Amino acid sequence: MEQLLRNSFMFLSKNRMITKLAKKYGLKFGAARFVAGENIESAIKVIKDLNEKGLDVTLDYLGEFIKKEQEANEMADHCIQAIEAISQNQLKSQLSLKLTSMGLDISNEVVLNNMKRILTAAKQYKVFVTIDMEDYSRCEKTLTLFKQLKKEFNNVGTVLQAYLYRTGRDIEELKRFKPNLRLVKGAYKETSKVAFPEKKAVDENFKQIIKAHMLNGNFTAVATHDDMIINYTKRLVKIHKIPKEQYEFQMLYGIRPEKQLELVKEGYRMRVYVPYGTDWYGYFMRRLAERPANVAFVLKGILKK
C-alpha cells in the first residue's frame, strides 16, 4: 500500500495540467507546511524565525517544466533576487537550485550563462549555492556542468543520491575538485537498472558514501530525516575525529522540526531546506511520495480550513 502511494504521488508530481492549476489556486491543502510562501517576503520571515532558533537555511525558488529560454532567464533573475535578499537581511542562508529551471533541457549555453550570472552575484554577496540533483537522466549532465563551474567558482556545491549504483564512483571522481556535497537518499522513481530497489541496500550505500566523502576531507552535508543515518554519522565523526566545520545535517522545512532543534541543542550544525514560490506542486508531491506519513499532516490542514 505504501509503495502504491509513493508511485501515485510521483506520477502526479509530473502532471503539467495539475501543476498549472496548483499555480493558479495557491498554497492550499496542506502544502504550506512544506513551502514557505509564494514570494521572497514570505520566505524571509520564515528564515528569520529559523535563524533565531539556531537553524541555518538553504533557500530554493521552486520551478518545474522550464522549456523556454525566457522562463529560464526569469528563474535565474529570481535566484539573484533571493541572493540579494539573503545579504540585505543578513540571513544565515545559502541558495539551492535545479539546473532544469536554469535551462538544462534547453541548451548548455542557456544553463551555463544563467549559472554564471547567479554564481557571480553569489560570490559578490558571499552566498554559497548548491546545485540540486534531479532524476537519473540528468545526473551526468548535472555533474559535467558542476565540474565546469567548479573550475571558475569556489562557491558552488552539488548533490549525490545514495540510491544510485553510480554514486560511489562519483564520490571518487569528484574528489579532485574538493567538492562541498549534500548527500541524500534520493526522491525520484528510478528503475532497478540504475538504482538499488531495496531500502536496506540504499541505507548501506548511504553510509558508505558518507564515510568515503568525509574521509576524503571534504565538506559533507548529510541530508536525512532517518535516525539510523543520523546516529551513524555521529559515531563516524567521533571515531575519526572529524571537525564540526567539515559537516552538517540537513532536513526539509516542515519535516521533523523537533529533531532539527534537538540536533542544534546537541551542538551540531543543522540546515533547513526552505522552498518558496508559486510553482510548488511538483515539490509537494515528491515530499508526499518520499514519506506517505506526511499525508496525515495534509489531511489535518484541510480539516482545519
Task: Give the residue numbers annotated as catalytic, written as ranges.
Answer: 132, 182
Radius of gyration (C-alpha) of the chain in whole angstroms: 18
Contact 85, 301 (CB under 8 A): no
C-alpha cell belonging to residue 152: 571558475
E runs forming strands in 124-256:
129-132, 156-161, 181-184, 220-223, 247-252
Helices 69-88 + 108-125 axis angle, to 10: 10
Which of 144, 182, 139 has its CA nearest to residue 164? 139
C-alpha cell belonging to residue 253: 522545512
- Per DSSP, 185 falls in state -
